[in-house]
Structure 1
Amino acid sequence: MFRPHRLVPKSVAAAAVAAHGLVVHAATTPFVVQDIRVEGLQRIEPGTVFAYLPIKQGDTFNDDKASGAIRALYATGFFNDVKIAAQGDVVVVQVQERPAVGSIDFSGLHEFDKDNLTKALKSVGLAQGRYYDKALVDRAEQELKRQYLTRGYYAAEVTTTVTPIERSRVGLLFSVVEGPSAKIRQINFIGNKVYSTGTLLSEMQLSTPNWFSWYTKADLYSKDKLTGDLESLRSYYLNHGYLEFNIDSTQVSLSPDKKDMYLTIGIHEGEPYKVSAIHLSGNLLDRGAELDKLITIKAGETFSAAKLTATTKALVDKLGEYGYAFATVNAVPQIDRANHTVDLALQIDPGRRVYVRRINVVGNTRTRDEVVRREMRQLESAWFDSNRLALSKDRVNRLGYFTDVDVSTVPVEGTADQVDVDVKVAEKPTGAITLGAGFSSTDKVVLSAGVSQDNVFGSGTSLSVNVNTARSYRTLAVTQVDPYFTVDGIKRITDVYYRTYQPLYYSTDSSFKIVTAGGDLKFGIPFSEVDTVYFGAGFEQDRLDTDQYTPQSYLDYVAEFGRVSNNVPLTMGWSRDARDSALVPSRGYFTQANAEFGTPVGSTEYYKADVQAQYYYSFARGFVLGMNVQAGYGNGLGGKPYPIFKNYYAGGIGSVRGYEPSSLGPRDKTTGDPIGGSKMVVGNIELMFPLPGTGYDRTLRVFTFLDGGNVWGTEGNSVGANGLRYSYGVGLAWISPIGPLKLSMGFPITKHEGDQYQKFQFQIGTAF
């Protein structure tokens, strides 16, 4: 039987409305609940409401139960309005759902990608599928403005349009008017007496607009960048002994039109301090003499925070080599402000010696564990060695299979002398299919294609097929490399190739070319972490396709030995790579030597030897001096001449810049064309420094160079090659998305009759 609604007293209803903005209906007389009905649901399941409702069938319903139910449902955040009424012994729960965010979109974006801003909004709690909240939308607007402030857009405006859509949802549209970006027009220093404003500015990332601001974005103010710059200034002064240095104030002002910014930095320099004494204390493990050698800062020198940091790191690393994984070195300074000196005590606490219980490889989904483990020089159940651990990380990094490698030590619970080593890797795609076209200053249009996989089936072996269609040098090559052909780390390299070389590529009439087809098998045997010895053998067939434009020296060779030569060369070599980077080296050296012998099994007998040495030295921040020397020598054996198709060539980028590629050396007496020679020497000196206005960006640098070299032969029907050729010039080096790119403008110093010049040249590839 239907019963009229029974309302709660006005005082209870008023209190509920004041507290929650809700309407409450409940019975004035308690009764036993026979049923509960929920009304107003659109997206939420009734079971969800019953799970939060503190009233169950059979409970006694009263005013307190009604108020508690309202509070409980409202606390879920699912509803904008909650009403509770009674129809007889049935409790009726009437709800109005809070709308959910059905879509988030943006308009007016130019500086940011939509996905990045969506992630930014998610960080403040606003995302598709979550409940709409006006306060949350306001926070989202502020977050979008903050994102634009980081890019220097201080005039950016954000407005939000809320559009209701079906099923109690809303669509959010954030309309952005970006406005102009504010540029840093002036950076002023107050209080600097020792160092000039220009010197201090060179230590900062932020700068006023210059020619390269479009690339560096250094003229856009960023609080994070300013914080980093202030730390750089602090480090600069501390490295020069100014222990009392302090940044007193930092003022950032914006012009009324929000287009210009002005930075004013107030500093206190103080006086430079010298080191009066430095000594070690604590537990030296009876190795005091050995540890003393690691101290790079000496008494009487000007204090340097960088040297002190390097010293403490060297001490910690040395203790780590002895097995003390958690050693600490604390510098305790005693400052004499009257005499401006500091006494440094380095307190050493080695902790307990530990050994490695287990090495865990984490994050590799394709690469097999053994591929990573065989690069580890830190072994399980051995004493912890920080040097071996660092070497292990470098070796895993050099595999090239991972975007990130992190090696960490984790103490083993319940023990004081054991650690686990976690090797966390983030894999990257190691296969590539390339189709491309380019333009070379020597070969004009160049088409290339390749298929490569550096980590076949996660085994660590590599396989590649490459095609190059350069006019002068065309190649089809298949190469397979197994870096661990044996468990001892012997590398096997299998190479099959077909090449055509057209020495007279600048002559449009000649069809003369050298065709080479063959294959070889090499083994690389490491005998240290940086040294590898190579041995190999192969089979090669060389064919000379001659025509009426072919130089006489090649015609004479064909007349005596035939157009086709079958060779069975034996090769051996050695290399040592101690550079800090193979791509952008700044210190260290690289050396290699190779020898090739044409055995009597083939139709040619000869030997050739090649050596190369590179050295890099960084004498100032961002400035690198690089030197390269390479030489080659070949001769015939058994009374046979040196094969002409094995000749060396020089000239052009990668050799002696400013001259036509492969144009140096002997020239044919009849045609005047370069024919190469059996002896070659090339030397290069480069001074590399950052592109002005880009800070210390190692990926974009300029350089000056001095080159020298030439090629000599033994042929009697050649001319030229009289002495070394020298050139100088300037260039630009850029680590571009398609590889290392070098542009150079070269000017010959020595000029002889018959020399061919080419001022502008470019190359994608090697360092020199």
Structure 2
Amino acid sequence: MNNHFRSFRVRALSAAVALLFVANTAWAVDPFSVRDIRIEGLQRVEPGTVFASLPFRVGDTYNDEQGAAAIRALFALGLFKDVRLEVSGDVLVVVVEERPTVADVEFIGAKEFDKDALKKSMRDVGLTEGRPYDKALTDRAEQELKRQYINKSLYSAEVVTTVTPIERNRVNLSFNITEGEPAKIKEIRVVGNKAFSESTLRGLFELDTGGWLSWYTKSDRYSRAKLNADIETLRSYYLARGYLEFRIDSTQVAISPDKQDITITLNVTEGERFVVSSVKLEGNYLGKEDEFKSLVTIKPGEPYNADRVTETTKAFKDNFGNFGFAFATVEARPDIDRATNQVALTLQAEPSRRAYVRRVNVAGNSRTRDEVIRREFRQFESSWYDGDKIKLSRDRVDRLGYFKEVNIETAEVPGAPDQVDVQMNVEEKPTGSLQLGAGFSSAEKLSLSFSIKQENAFGSGNYLGLEVNTSKYNRAIVLSTVDPYFTADGISRSIDLFHRSSRPYNDQGGNYQLVTEGAGMRFGIPFSEIDTVYFGGTLERTTIKPGTNIPASYLAYAEEFGYTSTSFPFTVGWSRDNRDSTLAPSSGRYQNFNSAIALIGDARYVRTNYQFQQYVPLSKQYTLAFNTEVGWGKGLNGQPFPIFKNFYGGGLGSVRGFEQGTLGPRDVTGASIGGSKKVNVNVEMMTPFPGAGNDRTLRLFGFLDAGNVYGDGAKIQFNELRASTGIGLSWISPVGPLRLAYAFPIKKFAGDRIQKLQFQIGTSF
């Protein structure tokens, strides 16, 4: 062997082969000092990545152990499919062959999932464009795709991967997916039940065997997560009715050989029903036992109710939190007497130590300014921990509408047992919108709309909006801005510029118009967490534009007071809202009062409106809703109430079954002209749509309406109220809230205009 030229070549396919190479002395080379290191075969990998993985440098003494370690380290990078070491004199040559990189990932035949969502799931397993191709990663990707399809009840889904080499050592990956038909739940059985019928228990579940609306709800598709939720619902149902020792013995899910039918069987043991014999308090209650006793919802003599036990212990912890005891523990200990089927409950409490809030942190807001979130906080730093204020802070931030999720975490401060840090985690959502749309209603026919809105302009929490609306009867262009914190105390300011043209609803095809334009400013002063008082002023001008079929009353008013009237109404209002939702409420109350007083200008008047809504949850599925609205107006300084400020009634939002805006006085031409007084009462019983489970966005309702409109100077006569009853459909659709009603007038008078079927997108109660 030439002393000046030594050649050593190692071809390694794995670290194990490298170890065998080192162990075999026949392949060994004598140690030598490395004068230079060269790397050959690199295409995309940086040389620095290879040098950083080598266990030796120029000038170090090379030996076989270091060679094996180098091969192992380079293979561990996952970037190479072959590595060789060659020794030429005192120069070490590292020869590598890179793995091909993924150029594109394509999904063929995927219909159940959006392709962008599938690509994201592939990134989660490490398979994406620009990454080295690895057969093991491809296998993992196939399994992940099958798992996602199984979660959708597509058990027969097949995934075949095609790898296509292309230029520059790259590959295209194609996942060819055959989805097949989803497996449907054929049968759900509950075995072992005695106290309640099997149909009653199955009615608690989100999963079912399907119905005519299953294409929308997909409730007949098996999901392990949904089944677990149904099992917990079943357990809670029994525990809330005294079955303290209820248990689910087994859960069996069987799928047919063709992977199309699923049978679910739940084996249960009900146990005996227990009645609460007594409830007593033990432990430290801060000397406020009576206050804590008032929070107890568990009543002796009634069946044991796990929901009330949980509700009571939570109320105790929250009450301790109101006094600063963030680490209070409350335990409900049952003492069971199986001879009498009675249970005595002991509520053991330990407030632990009082805590201060050291720091309040906000995380997750990349666009919204910190101050926009922090000004909603009612829990302050360096003050006592207050559970109510922390919950209120979270609710206020959530009600801003800028975030998908709002969560609060409380953490102990290391080394400070009496301090906690509170962190609010938010996930932002888009708050701007550009909308072009069209709507159709039985009253206004075709309407077009355009709007640009930004609820959180530049992350400041301010609202900016431009709205344009057009329809057969109402047209408007409105520019609005709202600063919810015009002052540091939370006083809001809103500014509106508007131009509206309208025509009262009637069946005469006239082209006259009432045109109102002006500007207004209003301030809102929060007096509590749910109460706000508003006041402001508006400068407006109303023009009566004559046209064909204009009501005689409008001409008479214009001839006496002019076709154009300018007024400066001062507005005062109040609202209180503690509903659980604004679009689909099931509990809570809403009240709103607005009053406008015009003492300056051509038209002088006072106009007030009060609305009251109450939602009563009868169960998880059923809600009883009440709505009352009263309006009143009067002219001032000897003038009549302006006819263009009249109230109108009839139709959706009023008394259904009567044509929109046709209730109340009419002039000599027969046109409905509205009135200065309005009374409206609605009662609704809301229930889930058959086959839609407990989906609150799609509901049926039965209703009873009563109301009327009265002219200026006329007294409100309740025997003149119109009334109707019927059924309806409420759906929060992608284009807005839709309500459809079919009504039967049960109290009507001669000349009333009846319209039994009515619908509208975006209407109110």
TM over 0.5: yes
Output the CA distance in 1 between the equivalents of 2:127 and 2:111. 22
Identify unmatched segments of 5+ residues in structure 1: none
Cα offset for 1:365? Answer: 3.6
Judge conservation of contact 2:584–2:696 (CA < 8 Å) in 1.
yes
Residue of structure 1 equivalent to 2:703: 705
Provide, for residues 632-655 of structure 1, a one-character-per-residue CA deviation record: whole Å limited to 9, x for no partner. Answer: 122233332222222111001011
Shift of 1:238: 1.1
Q: 1:480-519 to 2 correspondence within 5 Å?
A: 480-503=481-504, 506-508=507-509, 510-519=510-519
Q: Once the 2 structures are TM-superposed, how far is the Cα of residue 176 of structure 1 from its aligned partner?
A: 1.2
2-structure distance, mates of 1:210, 1:534: 49
Provide the C-alpha distance between the structure 2 equivalents of 1:274 and 1:714, rounded to a whole number of angstroms: 63
Structure-2 separation of matches of 1:71 and 1:482: 63
Partner of 2:148: 147
1:509-546 deviations in Å (ceiling 9; x for gaps) = x2222222223333322222222222233332222223
- The residue identity in structure 1 corresponding to 2:724 is S
Aligned position for 1:608 = 607
**1:420 paired residue number:** 421
In structure 2, the residue matched to 1:695 is: 693
Asked if 2 retains the 8 angstrom alpha-carbon contact of 1:24 and 1:84, the reply is no
Rate the CA distance shift 1:4–1:201 in 2: closer, same or farther, 3 A: same
Tell me the equivalent position of 1:683. 681
Cross-structure match for 1:595:
595
Structure 2 portions without partners, runs of 5+: none
Deviation of 1:17 after TM superposition, in Å, equals 7.2
Equivalent pair of 1:26/1:66 in contact (CA under 8 Å): no
Cross-structure match for 2:657:
658
- In 2, Cα distance between the equivalents of 1:15 and 1:320? 60
Query: Does 1:743 pair with 2:740?
Result: yes
Aligned to 2:750: 753
Q: 1:538, 1:570 within 8 Å by CA — same for their partners in 2?
A: yes
Q: Which moved more, 1:277-286 or 1:542-551?
A: 542-551
Partner of 1:462: 463
Deviations 1:715-744 (A, max 9, x none): 79x9x9971111111111112223222111
- Contact 1:664 1:721 (8 Å CA) reproduced: no
User: Compared with structure 1, are the counterparts of its residues 345 and 250 closer, same or farther at alpha carbon in structure 2 (3 Å cutoff)?
Assistant: same
Tell me the distance in 1 between the aligned counterparts of 2:120 and 2:56.
40
Q: Deviations over 1:164-216 (max 9, x none)?
A: 33344333222111111111111112111211122111221111121111111
- Bigger mean CA offset, 746-755 vs 112-121: 112-121
Q: How far apart, in 2, do the equivalents of 1:518 and 1:319 lie? A: 53
Aligned partners of 1:758 and 1:25: how far apart in 2? 101
Change (3 A) 1:299 1:8: same
Structure 1 residue 257 displacement after superposition: 1.7
State the alpha-carbon separation in 1 of the partners of residues 697 and 16 from structure 2: 68
The answer to whether the Cα contact below 8 Å between 2:522 and 2:534 also exists between their aligned partners in 1 is yes
Q: Using the TM superposition, name which of 119-128 and 381-390 deviates more.
A: 119-128
**Letter of the aligned partner of 2:637 in structure 1?**
G
Structure 1 residue 693: Cα displacement: 1.5
**1:368-425 CA distance string (max 9 Å, x none):** 3333232222223221211112112222222222332223333333322222332333
What SS does the aligned partner of 2:434 have? strand
- Would you say the 8 A contact 1:26–1:86 is kept in 2? no
Distance (whole Å) between structure 2 residues aligned to residue 108 and residue 248 of structure 1: 41
2:616 alignment partner in structure 1: 617
The corresponding residue for 1:575 is 575
Partner Cα separation in structure 1 for residue 65 and residue 480 of structure 2: 82
Structure 2: distance between partners of 1:525 and 1:686: 33
- 1:464-484 superposed Cα distances (whole Å, 9 cap, x missing partner): 222211221222222232323
| Aligned partner of residue 657 in structure 1, secondary structure | coil
**1:672 aligns to what SS in structure 2?**
coil
Aligned with 2:752: secondary structure? coil
Q: Deviations over 1:221-262 (max 9, x none)?
A: 112221221121111111112122111122212222211111
RMSD: 2.9
Question: Structure 1 CA distance, aligned partners of 2:23 and 2:652?
Answer: 81
Secondary structure at the aligned position of 1:659 is classed as coil
- Conserved? CA contact 1:5–1:27, under 8 Å: no
Q: 1:2 to 1:464 in 2, by over 3 A?
A: same
Deviation for aligned residue 1:68: 4.1
- 2:444 paired with 1:447: no
Q: How does 1:249-268 map to 2 (within 5 A)?
A: 249-268=250-269
CA distance in 2, matches of 1:15, 1:446: 74
In 2, Cα distance between equivalents of 1:29 and 1:388: 76
Is 1:731 equivalent to 2:728 in the alignment?
yes
Provide, for residues 6-28 of structure 1, a one-character-per-residue CA deviation record: whole Å limited to 9, x for no partner: 7799xxx9994795999998445
Secondary structure of residue in 2 paired with 1:393 = helix
User: What is the rounded CA distance, in whole Å, between the counterparts of 2:41 and 2:542 in structure 1?
Assistant: 87
The one-letter code sitting in structure 1 at the alignment partner of 2:665 is P
Match of residue 120 from structure 2: 119
Residue 537 of structure 1 corresponds to which residue in structure 2? Answer: 537
Whether contact under 8 Å (1:327, 1:350) holds in the other structure is yes
Letter of the 1:445 counterpart:
L
SS at match of 1:555: helix
Name the CA distance, whole Å, in 2 between partners of 1:47 and 1:633: 82
Question: CA–CA distance in 2 between the matches of 1:322 and 1:739?
Answer: 44
2:407 is equivalent to residue 410 of structure 1: no
Aligned 1:59-458 pairs, distance under 5 A: 59-458=60-459
Matches of 1:764 and 1:351, distance apart in 2: 54
| Residues 691 and 86 of structure 1: CA distance in aligned 2, closer, same or farther (over 3 Å) | same
Residue 416 of structure 1: SS of its match in structure 2?
strand
- Aligned partner of residue 256 in structure 1, secondary structure: coil
Q: Which amino acid in structure 2 is aligned with residue 392 of structure 1? A: S
- Deviation of the 1:706 alpha carbon: 0.7
- The one-letter amino acid of 1:757's match is I
Q: Does the CA-based 8 Å contact 2:22-2:28 persist in structure 1?
A: no
1:505 Cα deviation from its structure 2 partner:
5.0
Instruction: Work out whether residues 565 and 604 of structure 1, in 8 Å CA contact, stay in contact via their aligned partners in 2.
Output: yes
Query: How far 1:302 sits from its partner (Å)?
Result: 0.7
State the alpha-carbon separation in 1 of the partners of residues 459 and 133 from structure 2: 47
Does 1:528 pair with 2:528?
yes
Q: TM-score, normalised by structure 1?
A: 0.92
* Change beyond 3 A, Cα 1:97–1:500: closer
Shift of 1:120: 2.5
Q: 1:27 to 1:636 in 2, by over 3 A?
A: closer
SS at match of 1:620: coil
Shift of 1:445: 1.2
Bigger drift between 492-501 and 297-306 goes to: 492-501
| 1:38 to partner: Cα distance | 4.0
Structure 2 SS opposite 1:458? coil
From the superposition, tell whether residues 88 and 190 of structure 1 become closer, same or farther in structure 2 (CA, over 3 Å). Answer: same
SS in 1 for 2:747: coil
The alignment partner of 2:618 has SS state of strand
Q: Report deviation, 1:683.
A: 0.6
CA distance in 1, matches of 2:639, 2:226: 68
- Compared with structure 1, are the counterparts of its residues 724 and 291 closer, same or farther at alpha carbon in structure 2 (3 Å cutoff)? same
Whole-angstrom distance in 1 between the partners of 2:437 and 2:343: 62
For residues 269-319 of structure 1, the C-alpha deviation after alignment (integer angstroms, 9 at most, x for no partner) is 111111122222222111111111111012221111111111111111111
- Distance (whole Å) between structure 1 residues aligned to residue 764 and residue 424 of structure 2: 32
Question: 3-state SS of the aligned residue for 2:52?
Answer: helix
Counterpart CA distance in 1 for 2:22 and 2:170 is 22
| Secondary structure, aligned partner of 2:290 | helix
Q: 1-side partners of 2:192 and 2:129: how far apart? A: 52
CA distance 1:14–1:202, change in 2 (3 Å): closer
In the alignment, what sits opposite 1:559? 559
Q: How many residues align?
A: 761
